[in-house]
Structures are given as C-alpha cells and as structure tokens.
Amino acid sequence: MTVAPSRVEAAFPDALHGVSQDGIPYILLRPDQLVETVRRCRDELGYTRWVDVTAVDEPNVEPRFELQYLIHSLTEHRWLRLKTQTDDAVPSIVGVFPGANWYEREVFDLFGVVFDGHPNLTRLMMPDEWEGHPLRRDYVDANVEPVDFTVTREALGTGGGNELRG
C-alpha cells in the first residue's frame, strides 16, 4: 500500500502524482479529465470497486473545494485517490460508478458543489427547502437564534431578583 503504483503513473503521464501521508497514492486532475480518468482506472487498471467521494472546503484557497475520490483494486488490494479542485461544479461520474449517486448528492447537499450530468441532484441529508450548505467552513446557520444570557434588574422586576429566591 505504501509503494506508488508505477502502472497508474505510466497510464496518466501528464497528471500530477503523489502519495498522501496514509500511503495511498493520489492523482491531481483537472475537472474535465475526471470522468475519462475514472473510466480508464476502472477498465484498464482494475480499480473496479467504488469506495468514496467527499470534499474538503478551504474558503481562503482558490479554488476552494478539493474533491477526494477513492477507488479500490481487488486484484492489487490497493486504494487510489483522485483529487480535483473546483469552485462550483465538476462532471458527475455516476455513469461510471452508479454507487457515486448518493455520495455526489451528499457533497452537493452539504458543500454546494454541483455535479453536472447527475441524474437526480437533490438534497440527501437536509430537508429540500433548506438554505445553505452546512459543511462549508463559513456556513452560519440562520435558524439558530442567538440566546442572550445577560440578566438585568429591569428584566427581573423591582426586587432585583430577590422575589425569585423567595
């Protein structure tokens, strides 16, 4: 798991390759390369098992979202991470891995990243009428009313709170 797979590097010579701290190799892609790369990984390199996609939001970095796709090879028992960065939208890979359906909906729901070509891109976790995307780092929940814990004499009445103590 710790050795960078040379086959993957040879198959995608113009992409940026690396290995994360956990020993899983990654490829950094442009969003327009995504679908083709995932398909080639599945068909040519044996990464046939769908695992995961999630996003990391860094509002101060341009582009702010980094999407992390994880696929697995049953023959080599190895995971492969595909990364792509975007501000708003990436193509959907549901056509390659149908299992990505809910995962992409979850990222859309919680981060607001749009997956172009997704068959049913609606909210998954939050109610349909919810506003905002909760997992964004700068998300402020409009439904939470601020609670004021300050106590004043006026609020307590003339007794200065003594009547509350009995």
Tell me, by CB under 8 A, how many residues bind another protein. Answer: 35
What are the residues facing 53 on neighbouring strands?
69
**Which of the residues 107 through 126 are near another protein (CB under 8 A)?**
110, 123-126
Q: Which residue number, 93 or 157, has a Cβ lying nearer to another protein? A: 93
Q: Which residue number, 8 or 96, has a Cβ lying nearer to another protein? A: 96
Reference 32, options 80, 81, 79, 93; nearest CA is 93
Cα 6 from Cα 29, distance rounded (Å): 17
**Which of the residues 43 through 62 are near another protein (CB under 8 A)?**
48-52, 54, 56-58
What are the residues facing 74 on neighbouring strands?
none
Which of 4, 7, 9, 20: binder of another protein (CB under 8 A)?
Answer: 20
Reference 64, options 89, 40, 95; nearest CA is 89
One-letter amino acid at 83 equals K
Stretch near another protein under the rule CB under 8 A, chosen from 8-16, 28-36, 131-139, 152-160 = 131-139
